[in-house]
Structure 1
Amino acid sequence: MMKFPSFFAEAPRLRVRDPLAAFLGASEDGILDYGYEDVVRLAGHSCPAVAGGYLMVIHGLSYLYDDEMPERGGVEVFMRDEPDQGTTGVLASVATLLTGAAGEAGFGGIGPTRRFARHDMLRFGAQIEGVMALRRRDTGEGVVIDIDTGAVPHAAEMAAVMPRAISGQGDATELGSFAALWQDRVRRMLIEHADDPKLIHLYDWVPEDVPLSPA
């Protein structure tokens, strides 16, 4: 059986309602629950970028929906950079999983009116100040989300083991220390700093020059 670090289960969780899931009977009332382990399965690894993307989407949806349950499929995602720049592709994949927003290869919808379509709701190269932005399709309200992973640095001990681990020269003990220290930083982001405004920054966004995708 797959065994994740125990702190994965302590990380914030996201509950959304997906009208498509409700329509097709995939879950009761279309309610879907996501945890950090889900994005790790998607990405195939756990790192500050994956954890940061997870937190950015959770905070962004909370900002837009307040006490309402977020609607999966009801939000567009805008990425500042192109998909091959840095960790943008990873962040976009996390955002797609949690929001349903997809690029041109996304679900095309059902019937002649293309109900529940999800394609062309993920865009790259957006003119935004932060890493990512979300916009509700029903109200047009938006939020820009930025992250400063420097607010949760690696432990000082990482300086001694990272070069040897990355170069492939580390022995089993060093590699074990590297992995433990790596995940400790992820743990601190998700558990100790999940609501830290120094880590995740949120800004109102009204993109009047970007037309809404059809709801």
Structure 2
Amino acid sequence: MNYPKFFDNVEKIVTYDELAQFLGVNDDGIIEYTYLDIVKTSGHSCATVAGAYLSALYGLKALYKETLPRRGEIKVEIKNQPREHNAGVVGCVISNITGATTDYGFGGIPTGKFNRRDLLFYGADIETDISFTRLDNGKSVGINYRPGKIVNPMAILKSAISPDASEEDKKSFPKRFQEMVKTVLENGDKVIEVIEY
């Protein structure tokens, strides 16, 4: 698969998934997610996908500090409904990383362990865009994502789809668009706000 090389420079998200270890996926249950992994499952790379990835990266770091995030043991709340501001895309990205699902995920083994359902909520009554909560100790962190501080994705999109867009505008659009995504990913500390409760 050909893809922009900056994808490889994005920090990986490393998690521990006891279910993966239990089922023999690997010996230690450690699962690494790259931005490229998320692009493959999303089918595209944009400011929303990049923001969801960064939200998980920064949120899980704040939630777990020096220990590995425990996939499947994290409640995720999203302020918007799935069709509002592409929150459904955000939820899919974060679901892939955390294992949290609404009602469609793995229901657990017969003992009830490893359930992944009812851990992802849309339209949540929270003050931030996203909230992550550890199931083991109840600690939560909130995340706000503000790409507009450094980029204008809609302006780039409109430059390629407007009626007066030139052939050069259309031709250069994919590269310009991914340069915008690259800028977002390189400036996570500017576009992501972490609030620890």
Q: Give me the TM-score of the superposition, normalised by structure 1.
A: 0.86
Q: Counterpart of 2:170 in 1: which secondary structure?
A: helix
Distance in 1 (alpha carbons) for counterparts of 2:33 and 2:47: 18
Residues 1-215 of structure 1: pairs in structure 2 closer than 5 A: 2-111=1-110, 113-154=111-152, 162-163=157-158, 165-167=160-162, 170=165, 173-191=168-186, 193-194=187-188, 196=189, 198-205=190-197
In the alignment, structure 1 segments of 5+ residues that lack a partner are 206-215
Contact 1:133/1:144 (8 A) holds in 2:
yes
- 1:42-93 superposed Cα distances (whole Å, 9 cap, x missing partner): 1111000000000001100000100001111110100101111121000000
Q: C-alpha displacement at 1:24, in angstroms?
A: 0.2
Contact 1:132/1:145 (8 A) holds in 2:
yes
Deviant stretches of 4+, over 6 Å: none
Contact 1:101/1:120 (8 A) holds in 2:
yes
- 1:165-206 superposed Cα distances (whole Å, 9 cap, x missing partner): 224775653223111111111111112x13x1x31111123x
Distance in 2 (alpha carbons) for counterparts of 1:164 and 1:150: 17
Contact 2:161/2:170 (8 A) holds in 1:
no
- 1:5-49 superposed Cα distances (whole Å, 9 cap, x missing partner): 000000111111100000001123111110001111111110000
Distance in 1 (alpha carbons) for counterparts of 2:22 and 2:109: 10
Give % identity: 38
State the Cα RMSD in Å: 1.8
Contact 1:79/1:125 (8 A) holds in 2:
yes
Distance in 1 (alpha carbons) for counterparts of 2:122 and 2:89: 13
Please tell me the residue identity of whatever aligns with 2:18: P
Distance in 2 (alpha carbons) for counterparts of 1:22 and 1:169: 55
In the alignment, structure 2 segments of 5+ residues that lack a partner are none
Greater Cα offset, 170-179 or 4-13: 170-179
Please tell me the residue identity of whatever aligns with 1:176: K
Contact 1:154/1:182 (8 A) holds in 2:
no
Alignment coverage as a number of residue pairs? 197
